[in-house]
Amino acid sequence: MDATVITIFGSSQPADGSAAYATALELGKAVADAGWTVCNGGYGGTMEAATRGAADAGGHTIGVTCSAFRRSKPNAYIRQEVPTFDLLQRLNTLVRMGRAYVVLPGGTGTGLELMLVWELLNKGLLKRRGPLILLGQHWSALVECVQREQPDCRVPEIAGDPEDVVRILRAHFSGDAD
């Protein structure tokens, strides 16, 4: 197993059969096919889809779960569970484990994850990390808002589809000395 972990953030809401679920499924497969590990929150929606895609492709999957959410168990496609006791520990673990980050559409929880990683990257507090990739245009208005306030900030890359995500990741990792 490659030690390169890609943390994928996204909504817990999409169901199997939805377009968002299908995109996350394709993303997980593409990441695993590239030889990287998929890490996410470990529950349903796009988290389940990404780990399912990776597991179906023979990849390793990590789910960072949280006992404060009172959910019974991680989704069936998680191969390695990393339990945490609260949201802050969960966020820290998801960020710490990732070498790069992909953000799918989501709500406030996904927005929190996006903004945390973005701020840590901008402050130089995540050494040898990146890129931060947004899949699709969901977050475009937020990015534009932040750019107006902070024109010099590092801006997340935007990918059109899962293959584009892998292309961006390969370009980034080809420059690594690791």
- Highest mean pLDDT of the ranges 65-69, 145-149, 151-155: 145-149
Which pLDDT does position 129 carry in this prediction?
78
Q: How confident is the model at residue 134 (pLDDT cuts 50, 70, 90)?
A: very high
- Give the position of tokens 């009172």: 70
* Per-residue exposure over 26-47, b if at least 16 CB sit within 10 Å of its own CB, e if not: bbbbbbbebebbbbbbbbbbbb
Q: Is the pLDDT of residue 13 over 60?
A: yes
pLDDT in tens, 50-82: 999 999 999 999 999 999 887 668 899 999 999
Domains of the chain, earliest start first: 5-173 (3.40.50.450)
Pairing of strands 132-135, 100-103: parallel
Total-model pTM? 0.94
| pLDDT tens sequence across 23-36 | 999 999 999 999 99
